Amino acid sequence: MCALVEFTVEHVDPFEWNDEAFAQLVIPPQHKLVLQTLIESYNSGATAKFDDFISGKGLGLVINLFGNPGTGIAYAIDSCPALIDIQPLYVVGAADLGTSAEGVDSSLTTVFKMSAAWGAVVLIDEADVFLEERSLQFLERNAMVAVFLRQLEYFRGILFLTTNRVRVFDEAFQSRIHVSLRYQDLAPDARRQIWVAFMRKVNGDTPNGGLSKADLRDLGEKKVNGRQIKNVVKTAASLAVGRQEPFGYKHLIQVLELMEQFDTRSVASSTAATELTAVAISHTMYQ
């Protein structure tokens, strides 16, 4: 997971943090306030006296962010370390931690030791598999859940979890996670803000990112998430460059129409497969 390597430092430059990232984050204001306040309070040491009755336990800050993809979860986490005390972000995927209790235990120990040495915020992405309710049928997964619980209890630092299946969480995690924030699917107004933000990355700091109010109103009604908006703007900008045309609304619509055609075909293929399955089952029943 980590190694000592040699590399040239001739062209290494200081990292430039985006101090405006958190301000550009399109989430409910109360979510921003909670995130900012919790992290500032933890880093200031104000909560250090709230130790567990058992020494060494309960000294971390665990924040769970859950919701559908493209609702701002990843961006929220990326922007928080830049906001608070310039801390690095150590990102770990669930698949990186292993598939056995021993592997998960070893991986988490390494990750948490490294994060402590670096003063880093830890993000475990798609952590659902380690938080699921235990059952008699899956003993190995039960062991992984138990390991994860124990590691959380003794972790010192700030830990983010991203999940999307909170209904299947083991009850024991409710007391280990300090706060869970749900990220709802984007409303039209939120989508418009994101369209403008990404358009300004291409067109500069122009009113509405170079879009008319009517165009922006139309785009806000398109049921796409933040990640899809980013991809549409990037693809549409490349399309305009290739055609040597001024980048604008028509390029966005062309890419959106292609995306909608793909979605329609996917639904049609799924429906056709379902109908074929139904016919096959019906045929089998009457043989």
The model's pLDDT over 233-275, given as tens digits with 9 standing for 90+, comes to 999 999 999 999 999 999 999 999 998 887 654 444 444 433 3
pTM for the full model? 0.68
Q: Is residue 220 part of a domain?
A: yes
Residue 164's domain spans which residues?
Answer: 21-183
| φ/ψ bin of 124: left (φ > 0), alpha (ψ from -120 to 50), beta (otherwise) | beta
- Tell the residue number behind the tokens 């980013």, with chain if given: 230
What angle separates helix 226-243 from helix 188-203, to the nearest 10 degrees? 40
- Tell the residue number behind the tokens 């990750």, with chain if given: 111
- For residue range 48-74, list pLDDT tens digits in order: 555 555 555 667 899 988 877 777 677
Report the CATH number at residue 271. 1.10.8
Q: Is residue 12 part of a domain?
A: no
- For residue range 134-182, list pLDDT tens digits in order: 777 778 878 988 999 999 988 999 999 988 776 677 778 877 888 888 8
Same domain, 156 and 199: no
pLDDT band for 232, please (50, 70, 90 cuts).
very high
Q: Is residue 71 part of a domain?
A: yes
Same domain, 212 and 145: no
Same domain, 148 and 221: no
Q: Which residues contact 194 (CB under 8 A, 6 or more apart)?
A: 26, 186, 226, 229, 230
Same domain, 134 and 266: no
Share of the chain above pLDDT 70, in %: 76
Helices (DSSP H) in the chain: which residue ranges? 21-24, 29-44, 73-83, 101-118, 128-131, 139-154, 188-203, 213-220, 226-243, 249-285
More confident residue, 279 or 107: 107
Report the CATH number at residue 133. 3.40.50.300
Q: Is residue 92 part of a domain?
A: yes
Same domain, 220 and 122: no
Q: Which of 183, 209, 243 is the last residue of a domain?
A: 183
Same domain, 36 and 171: yes
Nearest-angstrom CA–CA distance, 13 and 59: 34
Same domain, 195 and 59: no
Contact between 106 and 11 under an 8 Å Cβ cutoff? The reply is no
> What number is the average pLDDT over the span 187-215?
89
Q: Is residue 131 part of a domain?
A: yes
Maximum average pLDDT range among 56-70, 100-114, 177-191: 100-114
Q: Which token pair is 100? A: 């056995």
Q: Is residue 4 part of a domain?
A: no
Q: Which of 160, 183, 206 is the last residue of a domain?
A: 183
Contact between 189 and 31 under an 8 Å Cβ cutoff? The reply is no
Rounded to the nearest angstrom, the gap between the alpha carbon of residue 283 and the centroid of all alpha carbons in its chain is 45
Nearest-angstrom CA–CA distance, 236 and 252: 5
Same domain, 204 and 159: no
Task: Tell me the pLDDT of the chain averaged across its residues.
Answer: 79
Q: Is residue 244 part of a domain?
A: yes
Nearest-angstrom CA–CA distance, 155 and 114: 12
Q: Which of 163, 183, 203 is the last residue of a domain?
A: 183
Type of residue found at 161 = L
Nearest-angstrom CA–CA distance, 169 and 133: 5
Same domain, 168 and 47: yes
Share of the chain above pLDDT 90, in %: 30
Same domain, 195 and 177: no
Number of domains the chain is built from: 2
Cα angle value 44/161/34 (rounded, 5°)? 45
Same domain, 101 and 163: yes
Same domain, 174 and 210: no
Q: Is residue 11 part of a domain?
A: no
Nearest-angstrom CA–CA distance, 32 and 41: 14
Instruction: Determine whether 76 is exposed, middle or buried from the number of CB atoms within 10 Å of its CB (0-12, 13-18, 19+).
Output: buried
